[in-house]
Structure 1
Amino acid sequence: MESSEIKRIRQVYAEYRQQGRWSSLNPGREHIEAERLRQLSATLKKQNHSLFRYKILDIGCGSGDLLNWFHQEGAKAENLFGVDLLPDEVDSARRKYPKLTFTEANAENLELRDNSFDLISTFMVFSSILDEQTSKNVAKTITRLLRPGGVIAWYDLRYPNPNNPSVRAMTKTRIRQLFPNFHLKLHSTTLLPPVAEKLGRHTDLIYPLLGKIPVFRSHYVGLLEQGYSAPLSGRG
C-alpha cells in the first residue's frame, strides 16, 4: 500500500507540472540548468569518473533530460535507467528518449539487483521528502544498489524555501545522516531562483556576478563517494 508521504509527493509534483514550474524558457532558469550540469561534469572529470562504462540510475527522472545528458556525456544508452513516481513524466521520457529505459516506481523499494549501478543521480529528490523514514528508506535503497566504489550525483537545496512548505533544506549534516559512509564532495551553486528568474535580459551580465557571492547560492551540487565515515555533528 502506498504511504501518505508518497501520495503527498505525487500530488505536489502533479501540481508543479500543471503550474509549469521550472520553465527552461526563463533566462535565469536556463543559467541555473547549464551551471549545475557544467559543474557536475567538471567534478566527474576531476574525480576521474568515466561514464562510458557506467551503469546509471536517475531517481526522480522526470521527463528524462538529466539521463539524456549522461548519454551525451558518454554513457551508453543501454546502461541508462530512470525511475519516477509520476506516470505522465515516465511516458514523456519514453517518448523523448526511446533508447533509454524509464519505469514508474517508488524509490523506497526498487526491485533491482544489489550492487548493480556505478552512479545514481538524485536531483531535487531528498528536499522533496518531508517524512524522515521515507528519506531513510530511499537512502537505504540507493546504498544497496550502488556497487562498491559507486557514487551519487547530487543536486539539491541547501536552504529552506519560505515560499514552498513542500520542501526542506538538505544541509550537509542531513546528508551525512542519510549517507554516513560517503564522502561529500559538494559545493554551493545556483543563484537564488527567485532572484535569477527576475533578471530577464540582464541575466548574462548579472547572474555570474551575484553567483559569486556564497550566501546567494541556494543549492549543493557534486558527488557523494563511498568508503568514508564522517561525524554527524557540525553545521552546513
Structure 2
Amino acid sequence: MSDAEVDRIRQAYENYRKHGKWNSPNAGRDYMISEGYRELRNILNQERRHSLAEARILDIGCGNGTLLSRFSELGAQADNLFGIDLVADRIAAARNKHPEFTFEVANAEALNFPNESFNLISAFTVFSSVLDESMSDNIARTITRLLKPDGAIIWYDLRYPNPQNPNVKAMTKARIRRLFPDFTLNLRSTTLLPPIAERLGRHTEQLYPLFKKVPVLRSHYIGTLSKR
C-alpha cells in the first residue's frame, strides 16, 4: 500500500477544494461536462454485452457520486452501483446526495470485493492523479481481478501533461497498455483543451465543436478497455 502517495493525493484534492477549482461558473466547463455525459451514453449503447439493468458497476475515485448517478439515469439499478474514494468528505457528500448507492472510503490498491464482481468498472481521471508507479500497478491489478471475464473498464483520462498542475501526469496509450497488457483498448481522443474551452465564454456553443475538430486540441482519451 502506497501510504505516502495516498497522503499526497488527499492533500492535492484538499488544495483543489480550498482554491475553488472547478466550482466557479464557466460555459466551457459546463459544455465539457454535458459532452462527457453524451459520450458516456454512446459508449454504453455500444457496449451491448452488458445490460445496464443487470450490470454491477464500480466507480473508482467516485467523488460525490455524479458519475454513478449518470449510470442510474441510463438504466443501472441502484443496488448494483458502488463507489470508492480516498477522500472521506467526498464520500460523505456522495452518501448524502445518493443514499441509494453504496459508497466506501477505500484505497483501490486493495478492495475486499470478491474476484470477478463487476461487469463495468469506471476510471475517470484516476490514473493521471497517481504519480507513484507502484500504486498505479496495484490499482490496475485490483481492477483486473474484480472485472468479470467479459467485463470492461470505462475509461476517461488525460492524454497530455498539465504544465500548471504537478499533481497529474499524462496517461498515454503506452502507459495504459503497460498497466493493462491483457486488455484491448478502444479509445478515442475527446474534450477540447480546458485552457481553451474555459475562455470561450458566450461563444462556447459555436466555437467548442469547431476547435474540437482539430485532433491535437483534444486533451483526453475516452472509451473502453476490454479483457481479451
Return the TM-score normalized by structure 1.
0.94
Give the direction of change, closer, same or farther, for the CA distance of 1:220–1:24 in structure 2 (3 Å limit): farther
Give the corresponding residue for 1:65. 66
Give a deviation string over 1:126-180, Cα, whole Å, max 9, x none: 0000010000000000000111111000000000111111100000010000001
Question: Equivalent residues in 2 for 1:5-154 (5 A)?
Answer: 5-23=5-23, 25-48=25-48, 49-154=50-155
Identity %: 57
- Three-state SS of the structure 1 residue aligned to 2:79 is helix
Number of aligned positions between the proteins: 227
Give a deviation string over 1:53-75, Cα, whole Å, max 9, x none: 10000000000000110000100
Distance in 2, matches of 1:171 and 1:115, equals: 27
Distance in 2, matches of 1:179 and 1:152, equals: 10
Asked if 1:218 is matched to 2:219, the reply is yes
Distance in 2, matches of 1:118 and 1:170, equals: 23
Asked if 1:159 is matched to 2:160, the reply is yes
Asked if 1:4 is matched to 2:4, the reply is yes
Question: What value does the CA root-mean-square deviation take over the aligned residues?
Answer: 1.1
Quote how far apart the aligned CAs of 1:198 are.
1.0
Residue identity in the other structure for 2:90: E
Give the direction of change, closer, same or farther, for the CA distance of 1:24–1:72 in structure 2 (3 Å limit): farther
Quote how far apart the aligned CAs of 1:40 are.
2.2
Quote how far apart the aligned CAs of 1:24 are.
7.1
Residue identity in the other structure for 1:57: L
Give the corresponding residue for 2:198. 197
On the 8 A contact 1:83/1:90 being kept in 2, the answer is: yes
Quote how far apart the aligned CAs of 1:124 are.
0.4
- Three-state SS of the structure 2 residue aligned to 1:222 is strand
Give the corresponding residue for 1:233. none
5+ residue gaps, structure 2, are: none
Quote how far apart the aligned CAs of 1:2 are.
5.9
Distance in 1, matches of 2:70 and 2:144, equals: 23
5+ residue gaps, structure 1, are: 228-236
- Three-state SS of the structure 2 residue aligned to 1:75 is coil
